[in-house]
Amino acid sequence: MLHVIKFSLPNLITHKTYRFCDLAGSERQTKTNCEGSRLKEAQQINKSLVVLGRCLDAANSNLQKKANQDVIPIRESKLTMLLQPPLLGKEKLCMIVALTPIEQFFEENMNVLNYASIAKNIVYKSQIKKDVGRRFSWFTSTNYESRGNDQLDLMEDPF
């Protein structure tokens, strides 16, 4: 998770959070021949991916209908708790998919593409968090200048 804070005016602070998560490890256990702690870890990863799929389905169906919103099962895995703000529409969600051309992983590739096709349909407007006011009276223009404008320019969101 990368948390970026942008200082633009003497009392304006914009917060942006980028969450990165590698979803590797969804292979079939019979193909990987895992044992012991690696088997338990693979089972937890697969469980988290199943819960993520249910969350994506619920978020997608909530966008399709206005009433009777489905509850998104965010608290059922650590992965979905990490991705809670994007799944609830408070931040943008981007999924990057990596596939393998090996034929024996065809079924896994199809599962990944299924997740991606559901995630592609989930489009929220991101909400920008801005703090203005007396709460940040500790922030002065001298603090802003001491940080260096070059560093702040690097933190600008290119999107």
Q: The CATH number of the domain where 33 resides is what?
A: 1.20.58.1980
Assess if residue 39 is contained within a domain.
Answer: yes
- Based on the structure, what is the number of domains in the chain? 1
Domain membership of residue 32 as a residue range: 2-154
3 state SS of 77: coil
Assess if residue 75 is contained within a domain.
Answer: yes
Q: Assess contact for 58 and 71: CB atoms under 8 A.
A: yes
Assess if residue 141 is contained within a domain.
Answer: yes
Tell whether pTM > 0.85.
Answer: no
Q: What is the pLDDT of residues 11-67, one digit of tens each?
A: 777 777 788 877 765 667 777 778 888 888 888 888 888 899 899 999 888 888 876
Assess if residue 159 is contained within a domain.
Answer: no
Assess if residue 138 is contained within a domain.
Answer: yes
Q: What is the pLDDT of residues 59-102, one digit of tens each?
A: 888 888 876 688 999 999 998 998 898 888 887 777 888 888 98
Q: Assess contact for 48 and 24: CB atoms under 8 A.
A: no
Angle between helices 106-120 and 37-64 (to 10 degrees): 40
Assess if residue 150 is contained within a domain.
Answer: yes
